Amino acid sequence: MSKIRDFFRPQRMGFHLLLAIVVTIVIVFIANVLLDVYTNHGEEIEIPNYIGQPSSDLINGETGDFVFVIGSTSYNKDCPDGTVLEQDPRPGEQVKKGRKVYLTCSSVIPPKVAMPQLAGDITLRQAATILENSGLELGAVTYVQSDYVGLVLQQYYKGRPIAKGTMINIGEKITLEVGAQVQPSDSIPNEEDELFDN
């Protein structure tokens, strides 16, 4: 009992506080050394550039340095299906062996987009901008005699009228019928045609 009282005497509290601080520092130092050993700290390698390579070669290959994961796909008509477009971590970064490398690969299957409403109070110039923002392209423009000069009167896809909200492949061409003060005729050149030809 007297030893316990002696341990908690105010005169000895400073010594015990100092002892606790020293023990804490030693424990933190040992934990850091063990953590470095466990995580192979300092044993990093530079990640190669996999962009442009077929993802199937990487996933099925025998590269034991990394684990490859296809994180997403992106439509790209200029690349074969499964070509690596992006990688994370990026080429040249220092990473540990066994690290997961997330790949964004090309897909030849185009995504679908909803057809916007172009017929109505929209000019040809506005319609072209809306199509571009939607991922679609302006196809042929046909001019018909109308009181609504310069406005889009009808929208067509593959020769048939297409309603707003219809899902079609991205990159498809949309034909427009535009009002003009002339007899019905196809592809009458005007300033807006010249704008879209450039």
3-state secondary structure the chain: CHHHHHHCCHHHHHHHHHHHHHHHHHHHHHHHHHHHHHCCCCCEEECCCCCCCEHHHHHHCCCCCEEEEEEEEEECCCCCCCEEEEEECCCCCEEECCEEEEEEEEECCCCEEECCCCCCCCEHHHHHHHHHHHCCEEEEEEEEECCCCCEEEEEEECCEECCCCCEEECCCEEEEEEEECCCCEECCCCHHHHHHHC
Task: Give me the domain span that covers residue 156.
Answer: 112-197
Judge if 163 and 91 occupy the same domain.
no
Q: pTM score, two decimals?
A: 0.51
Judge if 53 and 123 occupy the same domain.
no
Number of compact structural domains in the chain: 2
Which position has the higher pLDDT, 55 or 8? 55
Judge if 97 and 121 occupy the same domain.
no
Say what percent of the chain tops pLDDT 90.
Answer: 38
Judge if 75 and 140 occupy the same domain.
no
- Is pLDDT at 37 greater than 70 in this prediction? no
Judge if 117 and 193 occupy the same domain.
yes
Domain limit, last residue, from 74, 90, 107: 107
Judge if 129 and 169 occupy the same domain.
yes
37 inside domain:
no
pLDDT 10s digits, 118-170 = 998 899 999 999 999 999 999 999 999 989 999 999 999 999 999 999 999 99
Judge if 62 and 127 occupy the same domain.
no
Judge if 123 and 193 occupy the same domain.
yes
29 inside domain:
no
